[in-house]
Amino acid sequence: MKESIWIINQYSTTPEYPASSRHYELAKYLSKYFRVLLWGCNFVHHNKKYRFSPWVISKQEKVENFIFQWVGAIPYKDNGFSRMINMLLFAMTLFLVGVCKKERPTSIIGSSPTLFVAFAAMLLAKWKKAHFILEVRDLWPESLIEIGSKNNKNLVVKILAWMERVLYRNAEKIIVLTKGIEQRLKEKGITRDKIFFLPNGIDLKTVSFSINESKKESLRKQMGIQEDDVVFMYAGAHGPANDLAQVILAAEQLRAEKHIKFVFIGEGVEKQKLINLSKKLELDSHIIFLPAVSKSKINDYLSCADVFIICLKDIPLFEGALPNKLFDYLLHNKPIITTVKGEIKAFLEKFDIGLYGNIKEDNEYQLSEVCKKIASNKMNRNGKSINGVEIVEKYYNRERQAEQLANVIKEL
C-alpha span between 161 and 163 (Å, rounded): 5
Percent above pLDDT 70 for the chain: 94
Taking only the tens place, the pLDDT of each residue in 211-222 is: 667 788 889 999
C-beta of residue 190 within 8 angstroms of C-beta of residue 164: no
Tell me: pLDDT of 171 over 90. Answer: yes
Tell me: pLDDT of 170 over 90. Answer: yes
Ordered by where they begin, the domains of the chain are 4-201+397-411 (3.40.50.2000), 205-392 (3.40.50.2000)
pTM for this predicted structure: 0.83
Helix axes of 271-280 and 245-253: crossing angle, nearest 10 degrees: 20
Positive or negative, the CA dihedral 367, 368, 373, 376 is positive
Q: Which residues does residue 290 pair with via DSSP β-bridges, in sequence order?
A: 265
Taking only the tens place, the pLDDT of each residue in 39-55 is: 999 999 888 899 999 99
C-beta of residue 358 within 8 angstroms of C-beta of residue 339: yes
Name the pLDDT band for 210 (thresholds 50, 70, 90). low
C-alpha span between 354 and 374 (Å, rounded): 9
C-alpha span between 225 and 219 (Å, rounded): 9
Q: What is the pLDDT of residue 208?
A: 55
Which among 49, 98, 101, 40 is positioned nearest to 71, based on CA atoms?
A: 40
Tell me: pLDDT of 359 over 60. Answer: yes
C-alpha span between 12 and 1 (Å, rounded): 26
Name the pLDDT band for 381 (thresholds 50, 70, 90). low
Phi–psi pair at 327, nearest 5 degrees: -75, -30
Read off the pLDDT of each residue in 230-242 and give the average, rounded to a whole number: 94
C-beta of residue 174 within 8 angstroms of C-beta of residue 195: yes
